[in-house]
Structure 1
């Protein structure tokens, strides 16, 4: 029997691209069962577009849950609210400014139906600009997600890879409803919702990758996140801020609350210590050497970063 599906759409001042995205949802070869929409008090025509969309979708047999927030709550709380209203067995995250390929829902659902142990799945995407023009690089290429990482994902190394860096973009991701029992409430810290959800899924079971581009992912001057924290080419000052903003504490707290295996909790603590050590390296390059070498020989640069390259950066930055 086919799995039921929900799409969680969060909007805010999205009138420029929203209609094209909504049209792509209704053009799926396999239509969703439910679309949950939460608008964060848009000041443009977004709500008007959404209200016109509801009867069109319902005429196709899709249940639509549209609500406008009483006040602006920000994208994290907005997604939290949308996810709580999703009832489908498989949940898709949806940005307001992308365009879904017609076979996206069908292709992803087929994977979940064939693989009962699969908890989360993400895909590649085409990059487009504000005018819809296809950009020369794919999402994976821009994020430097290579064939080796894709192969490791297929082999079940999702948690290992996610402990190295963010490589999952929410607009391309779907996950089983049961993941919400672990992931909600979304943390109030610096975690981006997609990275949090897929990490919780990976700590519980299998996550995987489809290299196929199933979304046109739009990059434009009004992106809420753009490539966000996934951008591996962040400037040095953003990289240092990332090191100082250790998000492992939230992950460890949730892992303890969920009584996840001791091995996972120990790995989180190890990453915490590694980030702390890197963020507090001495100003003197000479005094950094023993700290960096100790982390390198312990395998922490390889386990939580880019190996020797990350160690070299710490020695010379």
Structure 2
């Protein structure tokens, strides 16, 4: 018997693209058992579209849990609430502005059925524009998720890959409900929900990727997260903020990992990542005085394990 499936949908002022996404959920060849929708107090016509969707889904035998927050919570707390209401064995995250291919759920469930130790799975996606037209690039290429990375993921090194950088995009991922025992509550700051869930899944079991593009991932001017986000901040300040954010992330992950009774070698990797990010985030202002710390991290292999190797070390040596 195939596993039960829940879809967690979070919406906020998504009327322009929401209907196409909702239609694509109903067009799945493998019908979901439950769709949980949390609207974050939209001020447009999103709620009207959602209320019209409920009887259409229920007519197909899909249980729908539609709730509107009492006040605006933001995407982290909104997804937290949606995930808590999911009852399926396999949970899909769903953004309001993408389009799922009809075989997405079926393909994921086939993989989960065949691999009991698989805890989280993600797929490639076709990038599309505001009109839904395909762009030249696909998601894996845009994320620089290389064939070498994919080979390592397939070989069981998902934890080390996720410790280096997030490779899982929420709109293109699903995971077993058991992962929520570690992942909830979602962190209020520091972590994006998909990276947090994917990393914790990798701590407990296998994670992997599918080569097929099973969604249309829409890029538009109002993207809250992901590839479509626009940031006019000067690059030097972006790098500084990124290092500070990764330092906070690694500290939060380490504190959480210590509560999970993980194997000592895995915990040691998290501690190593936290020390490395702390060094990078607190380098001296003087470029000359940075040299010993940067060279130490480079020779230890930490820049290769947790960054872009010599490139990251070079940037740390010369950045303002």
Q: Secondary structure at the match of 2:209?
A: strand
Contact residue 123 and residue 212 of structure 2 kept, 8 A: yes
State the 1:87 CA deviation.
Answer: 0.4
2:162 corresponds to which residue?
162
State the 1:235 CA deviation.
Answer: 3.1
Contact residue 164 and residue 306 of structure 1 kept, 8 A: no
Q: Does 1:217 align with 2:217?
A: yes
Contact residue 221 and residue 228 of structure 2 kept, 8 A: no
1:306 corresponds to which residue?
308
2:152 corresponds to which residue?
152
Kindly provide the CA deviation profile for residues 123-178 of structure 1, in whole angstroms up to 9, marking residues without a partner as x. Answer: 11000111111111111111111111111100011011111111110000000000
2:292 corresponds to which residue?
290
Q: Which runs of 4+ in 1 moved over 3 A?
A: none
Unaligned runs of 5+ in 1: none
Equivalent residues in 2 for 1:1-317 (5 A)?
A: 1-227=1-227, 235-245=235-245, 246=247, 247-317=249-319
Determine the C-alpha separation between the residues in 1 that align with 2:297 and 2:226: 32
Kindly provide the CA deviation profile for residues 243-301 of structure 1, in whole angstroms up to 9, marking residues without a partner as x. Answer: 11221122112212221122222221211111111112222222222111100111111
State the 1:228 CA deviation.
Answer: 7.2
State the 1:236 CA deviation.
Answer: 3.3
Q: Secondary structure at the match of 1:163?
A: helix
The count of residues paired between Structure 1 and Structure 2 equals: 314
Determine the C-alpha separation between the residues in 2 that align with 1:236 and 1:213: 34
Contact residue 10 and residue 79 of structure 2 kept, 8 A: yes
Determine the C-alpha separation between the residues in 1 that align with 2:171 and 2:212: 14
Q: 1:93 to 1:3 in 2, by over 3 A?
A: same
Determine the C-alpha separation between the residues in 2 that align with 1:158 and 1:239: 25
Q: Secondary structure at the match of 2:16?
A: coil
Kindly provide the CA deviation profile for residues 40-75 of structure 1, in whole angstroms up to 9, marking residues without a partner as x. Answer: 000011010000000000000101000011111111
Q: Normalization by structure 2: what TM-score?
A: 0.95
Contact residue 283 and residue 293 of structure 2 kept, 8 A: yes
Unaligned runs of 5+ in 2: none
Question: Could you tell which deviates more after superposition, 112-121 or 271-280?
Answer: 271-280
